[in-house]
A and B are shown apart, each in its own frame.
Chain A
Amino acid sequence: MIVAERKTLEAIAGMVAGSRKVLAVGCGTCVTVCFSGGRQEVAALAASLRMKRGIEGKPLAVDEAMVQRQCEWEYVDTLAEQVKNYDAVISLGCGVGVQTLAERFPALRVLPALNTLFMGLPSEQGVWEERCQACGNCILDKTGGICPVSRCAKQLFNGPCGGSQNGRCEVDASIPCAWHKIWERAEAMGTVEALMEIEPPKDWSTSRDGGLRRMVRQDLRSPSEEEGKE
């Protein structure tokens, strides 16, 4: 899932300082399950903003809405009529959700209530950890399903480095050394020999390089009118 956390109330209140009526929109997918932008979090933010502004003597009407997925046109289109009634929309979606709303409703001020952090999983109740950086060239087959791109501070492909101490990373002792885990797993699975091969430098051109990334599936695209002509 995409993991995000809410900005401070002060930061969000600052964005709507000049507004009188705003709509807080949650998302029912990733940010619901990481407890940052679901129905409950929308209600908490809306109530907090209304109270803060009430105390300051500048009342702000904050209404609440939810869409199942803020990152798809079909879902955000359900808000098309509703959003016309507001000075601004506060999105409790991830960065993708905010941009989907902004792109779909060009006349509308769309504001982010969350900071999008990473792609990860709940490693235990109440704790989320990064697992993928979308490098575009997965090598988990070679590392026993443990990703050194997202989990090694140096993004090493031949590890561990000298900073690995007792299975912990020198950057922060609370972080398990990814390469220590990769070796442990290889030992358990009897595949240590494969790790002895030197992995050449990774081709990063599929990662954060060359601007916007795009995936195209020609077979799924809508055929053009032109192609439909006899």
Chain B
Amino acid sequence: MSESFQPEVIAFCCRHCAYAAADLAGGSRQAYPTAIKIVELPCTGRIDVVTLLHAFEQGADGVLVAGCLKGKCHYLKGNLYAQQRLDYLGRVLTEIGLEPERARMINISAAMATQFAQLATQHVETVRALGPSPLARVKEGEGV
């Protein structure tokens, strides 16, 4: 089943680093999985648990939050807040009955295109191994 399963992973990327890194990865022809669907954020500090929960509720199999390197946030602490919210999200996902590993945060710079491609691929593989989100099944089957 995991062979044919094509996960959908929403990547929330900070415009100052990860979004540019993803762009650079594309521009320099470094492939990362088509499973990754990018949403640009002004800073990962913009992310909140509700937004991430809605991504899962609407059928995402995984979520990636990609922010600046620690100590390099354009707004000083946005990426640190994001990490704390991801930690909290992990506990919420467990309560709901989803694997917390479906959500992950990474820290990269705008120049780290290779690392973006590698880490994005790694997370997609993690999600692929976990299998489809049961919510995606619910959404398809029952129109939740």
Contacts and interface: CB of A to CB of B under 8 A. Distances in A.
Interface residues of B, number: 17
Interface residues of A, number: 15
B99 to A, nearest CB: 11
B138 A10 contact: no
B92 A50 contact: no
B138 A44 contact: no
Contacts of B95: 8-10, 48, 52
B142 A59 contact: yes
Contacts, number: 49
A51 B98 contact: yes
A165 interface: no
A40 B54 CA distance: 12
- Give chain A's interface secondary structure class: helix
A9 B138 contact: no
B96 A48 contact: yes
A54 B138 contact: yes
24 contacts: A8-B95, A9-B95, A40-B49, A40-B50, A43-B50, A44-B49, A44-B50, A47-B54, A47-B57, A48-B53, A48-B95, A48-B96, A50-B57, A50-B144, A51-B53, A51-B96, A52-B95, A54-B134, A54-B135, A54-B144, A55-B98, A55-B134, A55-B135, A55-B138
8 tightest A-B CB contacts, nearest first: A9-B95, A54-B138, A47-B53, A43-B50, A55-B97, A55-B134, A51-B96, A52-B96
Interface of B: 48-50, 53-54, 56-57, 92, 95-98, 134-135, 138, 142, 144
Given A44-B49, A50-B144, 6 more contacts: A47-B54, A51-B53, A51-B98, A54-B135, A54-B144, A55-B138
